[in-house]
Homo-oligomer: A and B are copies of this chain.
Amino acid sequence: VRETSPDRMPPDPHPLAPSAPVCAHLLTIGDEILAGDIVNTNAAFLGTRCRRIGLTVVRAQTVRDRVSEIVPAILEATRHARVCLVCGGLGPTSDDLTTVAVAEAAGVGVRRDAAALARLEAKFAALGRAMPEANRKQADFPAGADILDNPIGSAEGFALDLGGCRVFVMPGVPRELHKMMREQVEPWISEHLDLREVPRRIYRMLGRGESAVAEAISPVLAQARTRSPGLAAMFVHYRASMPEVQVVLEGTPGPDGVGATQDELAELDAPLLDAMGGALYGIGSASLAPRVIEGVRRAGHWIGTAESCTGGGVGQALASVPGASACFAGGIIAYDNRIKIEKLGVAESLLHEHGAVSEAVACAMAEGGRRALGVDLCVAITGIAGPSGGTPEKPVGTVHIAVCDADGSAHRRVQLRGDRGTVQRAAGAWALKLAWDRLGLRPSFMTSNEH
């Protein structure tokens, strides 16, 4: 493939104006990302961490494992950002070329570090294994780079100054990247750069479209902008991942350098709550599952699940919450109708009369699950995830959800769009929302400003 006209000129030693606002570029390296074989969760992780410490990421790039493509990407990032976070390509195999490329971008050689080699050998020895020859190159670093420890893996990272930009190079293995970023990179950034976190406030909704939400809240936002220069400059994002929509308010500074404060944003809670209505389930970083778990836990209750088309997805979401064991008992995955009958006590006549995907069966599953599991609250789902199995009356995406507690059952039918996985995920989200509704929780419950 065509070269992307590599720019091999030595970087300008002071490419950034001293008064330039501090920002970051991300560079993730790997053919497998560009070929779509893996989803770039590392870039999302780095973006989240930067935001938490107030460092704005203005661009993220991914290039292939080719020295001739990595070098210009590095040089470009260093011309526009104070910090460049690079990850991937530090492994032992022949397609791991990041170290060589960064050295070339910096105009220096690669040196094998004796201490790093000793650490590497010790790591293999500790595992009782001989070090493969291929791993030796993981002790190579650009001359003059500062090495970043990796106590949990073989790929150590490094940092170096390239012009006015600090370049951090980290491994692509997520847990190693996470540890290195948190423990070594973030402290350096916080110490050396004058950062101020931009206040944010997230409003989380389920069951209302993006443009309907925008229309409902626009008078509230317009009114707010008249109140202060900070609120006037406020940045509003809409994030839709159906059936969920989030509205994010950011206290981005305006031309006069003044941005809305966290308190100013929080004052918008009450009017926004009115405008958003029952779709709004929460303010802050917590998603539905931790809110449901915390609501059940505080009520001193136990929750269980009875799932058909989601096959365990709601149980998994609840179990993903640390501390779920305090109130999540378990569930019955009743994928086949036989299990609905035998384990949830759904009457065969109901299945015959209404079909497995029906209000009657969803409610019977929730009631039967509550009884069988001995829990206070049971969530049930039955639906047609596709791609086949739809009929004119019950097309693919038809899902019935029920929640049963001591006071009886609530039911909802939803018609979802998308492929099998999308329908399954959306069905699970709707089920958690119905549980949230049933618990009588408030959007202000578990408000946090973390994200």
Contacts and interface: CB of A to CB of B under 8 A. Distances in A.
Interface of A: 1-2, 4-5, 16-17, 20-21, 23, 26, 31-41, 43-51, 56-65, 69, 73, 80, 91-95, 132-135, 152, 154, 173-175, 178, 210-212, 214-215, 218, 235-242, 246, 248, 302, 305, 307, 309-320, 322-325, 328-336, 338-339, 342-343, 372-374, 385-389, 417-422, 424, 451
Contact of A132 (B43, B45, B175, B214): B214
A279 to B, nearest CB: 15
A35 B51 contact: yes
9 contacts: A33-B44, A35-B57, A37-B48, A39-B40, A40-B44, A312-B313, A320-B420, A328-B336, A333-B333
B23 A36 contact: no
Contacts of A248: 32, 37
A320 B324 CA distance: 24
A424 B315 CA distance: 12
B2 A174 contact: no
A381 B51 CA distance: 37
A93 B212 CA distance: 10
Given A60-B61, A91-B238, A93-B210, 13 more contacts: A1-B56, A2-B21, A37-B451, A59-B73, A93-B238, A94-B236, A132-B212, A154-B211, A311-B315, A315-B315, A315-B335, A330-B333, A330-B343
- A-B complex: 8 closest residue pairs judged by Cβ atoms: A311-B319, A312-B312, A36-B47, A312-B315, A36-B48, A331-B333, A330-B339, A132-B215
A173 B322 contact: no
Nearest to A241: B38
A335 to B, nearest CB: 4
Given A44-B39, A336-B330, A215 B133 contact: yes
Contact of A62 (B59, B69, B241): B59
Given A39-B40, A63-B58, A95-B238, A333 B315 contact: yes
Contacts of A322: 386-388, 420
Contacts of A2: 16-17, 20-21, 23, 58, 80
Most B C-beta atoms less than 10 A away, residue of A32, A133, A152, A319: A319
Nearest to A61: B61
A87 to B, nearest CB: 13
A16 B5 CA distance: 11
A154 B338 CA distance: 42
A204 to B, nearest CB: 11
Nearest to A178: B419
